Amino acid sequence: MLSLEKPARGGEFFDREEELKHILEYITRGEHTVVIGLRKVGKTSILFRLIDVLADNYIVFYYYVPETSNMDILFSDIKSNFLTILADSAEPHEVPETIIERYPQISREVLRFVRLESKAHNFKTMLELMDSITKKLDKRFVFILDEFQNIVNIERSLMDYIRQAIWSTHNTVFVFCGSAIRMIEDILTGDSSIQGLRRIKIRPFDFEKAREFMIRLSRKTLGETHIAFLYYITGGMPFHIKAIIKSLNVMPIEKVSWRAIAKVLEEELFQDTGILYNYYNAQEIKLRSKSPLYPEILYQISQGNTRLSQIAAALNREPQDLNHYVRRLREMDIIDENNIINDGLFAIWFKTTWYLTNKMPIIRVRDRYRAFQKRINEIIQTYKTYMGYTVELIIRELVGRFDNRRLSTGEILPRFDVVISNARINDVEIDLLCIRGKNTWVIEIKSGPLTESDIIEFYEKTQKIPHNITKRIIIALHTISSEALEKANGLGIEIWDRQRVRTLLRIFGIPITKPFF
């Protein structure tokens, strides 16, 4: 069985120089930092790169906080790891003696450090001793806590002691990192919140960076349509891209085809040797151990049942019975505020592998593979179909799927009676005229840069339309000037950028093609 891939180091590190630069600047200025981002977006790779860069001038301590731990393990791990750094290559049983012999000026602090009891209130003392030890060694100290939100699972008061240590230490720069973004925000804004932290959010690669990453990793010829599809299903997540490209690289082909991609998705998502299969299966097992309702809810969401009422009806439950579980999935950043699974491949895994294993168990292995391939081929074929659609046609279909749902922002997307493309009224041509009763939305699609004059021209066109216009929208798929934003705001015109459109496409289950990247 393949193990999950390790964080990228050395020559494997790709593109995150801008984020790394900001973190280094903060550390140089002695500013504490929190780094947040979804799982497998590349946070730990950045931290490991940071450790390599700082190694010559700082003492750098890195600790990963597991989701399930306890006070004894926390203290024991931090003590042994920190002492090992100070002792360098000494044998484990000789570490304290080696340190004291080598650095007699810190002998008192080291002995206190070793003897500290595993009590929550001693966590502040432990951090202060590490600060004092490194200061006496004339080295600045960087303390990195990865998945630090898990520390509240051990004892919530630890956050208060960390906050106190930040104020009482003067040689230490703290870097906190975590993937449960909403949980982290709650921690940072709670009673024991840590004030003054610099925040950096690590995002998935955009299309151009993901494309460059794929080409750099691939030993096969990748077509542009295949790159676009891989970006769509991976969402630009480096870990996912690397796993798929790695599997493509070992195939006996020179040029990637749709058939090769389908085969690799079978190997990665369906077979128990797949890196992605093991990653998602581990997540599902962890969720199911908390409640069997979690995977059931995620399966329903993967099927397009994103409203709480839809999920409840499918599971034959009352909405109030599921509200807690949906809220927890948001807090864990598995789904977003609109109940969409954040990891697109995880959604595909639920729709295919999890379904075939749990909802439609098939005894014969060959039949299971065929059923999986049928579902994957349907996903690929749907994407290929949408690649042939114009932007206008996709937007028309999107608006045509509006169903009176309320978004997390409070906005309601009405079910229109009719949606007319390229409507011509009083010698004015409108891309989309969306009518519901006596109310009308007017939508213009702009593929080029959006300027102030475009806003004025659109507004003047809408003035000639004899309808009760309740919303004027420009969909901007390119750059938007600050003057255009200001003018649109003044005229009551909404601008939907590509990010907004991508969000809506995901909500309504429409594949995201290259014009929206």
How many C-beta atoms surround the C-beta of residue 210 within 10 A?
24
Give per-residue pLDDT as tens, 298-321. 999 999 999 999 999 999 999 999
Q: pTM (2 decimals)?
A: 0.89
**Neighbouring residues of 79: CB distance < 8 A, sequence distance ≥ 6:** 113, 114, 116, 126
Residue 192: is its pLDDT beyond 70?
A: no
Helices (H), 235-292: 238-249, 258-265, 275-290
CA 423 to chain CA centroid, Å, is 39
In angstroms, what CA-CA distances link 233 with 50, 467, 512? 29, 40, 9
- Residue 181 pLDDT > 90: no
Q: Three-class SS of residue 280?
A: helix
Q: Please answer whether residues 149 and 178 qualify as being in contact, where contact means their C-beta atoms are separated by less than 8 angstroms.
A: yes
pLDDT in tens, 79-134: 999 999 998 865 656 788 888 989 999 999 999 999 999 999 999 999 999 999 99
Are 488 and 455 within 8 A, CB to CB? Answer: yes
- Supply the pLDDT for residue 187: 67
**What pLDDT band is residue 2 in, cutting at 50, 70 and 90?**
very low
Is residue 159 within 8 A of residue 23, CB to CB? The reply is no
Identity of residue 296: E
Kindly state the average pLDDT of the residues 17-43: 93
Q: Which percentage of the chain shows pLDDT scores above 70?
A: 94
pLDDT in tens, 241-258: 999 999 999 999 999 999
Sheet with 140-146, strands from edge to edge, namely 58-64, 140-146, 172-178, 33-36, 198-201
Q: CB-based contacts of 480: which residues, under 8 Å, 6+ apart?
A: 449, 450, 495, 497
Distance (Å) of CA 146 to CA 35, 168, 176, 185, 289: 9, 22, 6, 15, 23
Mean pLDDT of the chain: 92
| Nearest-angstrom CA–CA distance, 211 and 123 | 45
3-state secondary structure of 123: helix
